[in-house]
Structure 1
Amino acid sequence: GFQLYICHKLTIYIKCNLQPWHGKLAQADKEGRLVYIQNLDIRFGASEIVELIREALQLSCTAKPINHPTYDDPNNGKAYVVFNSRNIADEAVMKINSGLVVGGRPLYCSKGLLKVPKPASGALVGHLTISNQKMNPRQREEQKKAVSTSHCSQPNTIEYDLALDWMLVREKQAMKFSILHKRHAGERKSFAAKMEK
């Protein structure tokens, strides 16, 4: 990126070394300076998190709140925090995990980026591969000539049955997570009330 400065009708462009956040996160992770903090207030922005770290831990950092995965607790704020050195990051993890409570919320953290599992092969996750190697040449020819009448799942296919089962499981899971999140919100409120006494 570039910053624009205008001085006495003279425009000066100064090239900035503005690295995108994902690049900064990856670099900080490699160097052991990245900390993943959980159970923050969801209303905290980057500046509030930086101020919290400065006030509570007497450490300087940069921070980036992150979005929540689909089934994660929506009341549980998360952020990546980048410290100046590996030792400072280790110190922050130790202090936070030893019982730092902010607004009635005990914070906890770990070092590094979240590890998202990748599929072992290049195949799409959840897709079934049906081998046609056991078909005789006549069956393969018939399959090539077959005309598809619909791209949607039909009630007489295994995909349809699996899709219905999957939708039912997802609905049950969403309901259970909703109940769990409400219970956690209530427990947080009662914990915060106890801490104020």
Structure 2
Amino acid sequence: MPIKSASQALKPKTDISQLITSADIKKRQSEQSALRYLSGYQPDIVDKISQLVDTKTLGAHFLTRYPKMHDIRTDKALYDMAIELKNTYMRQSDPLAKVIFDDKINLSHHALGLHSYVNRRQGNKVKAKNEIRISSRLKHIPFELLQMVVVHELAHLREKDHNKPFYQLCTFMLADYHQLEFDMRVWLVAEEVGQSPYAK
């Protein structure tokens, strides 16, 4: 009977390609943490999105609803869009001095856009100006979702808190606001798990 060499004796009997590695665990944790964007939604809805993530079909599924990105690439085009919405629905609200894309807004901090009230000195006078900054990452999403974020920030001109009047104002400006907010959250999940529907 032949004697097994030391290397043969230590050879595993299972297929090591099937073993779970630390990279697999980290990837799974990342996918689960991405679902935090959907906290508060019905468990069955979250389960459906989770299944799409698991089967790596979330990006393709998203494209069936939103097949193309918007073409608003400049701050001027973004400002014009915001002013048109404001003049249509919030003409009596405070003026809007600036609307720009901002590279510094980080999506991972649940910030897609920011509304700020900036005091600026002009001579002996201090003038307050409203500004809206939208994450530059939102240059590569569907128009409907960009519009939803702009509406959200415009609503803050009148309502500072996320209260009932705030969401009433959002839906007054954009009837399907809540559906679009959900779809934006699905896009965020897809981005975080590496299944971007609009890979550049």
Q: TM-score, length-normalised on structure 1?
A: 0.22
Larger radius of gyration, structure 1 or 2? 1
Which structure has the higher relative contact order (CA within 8 Å, separation 6+)? 2
Q: Calculate the TM-score normalised by the size of structure 2.
A: 0.22
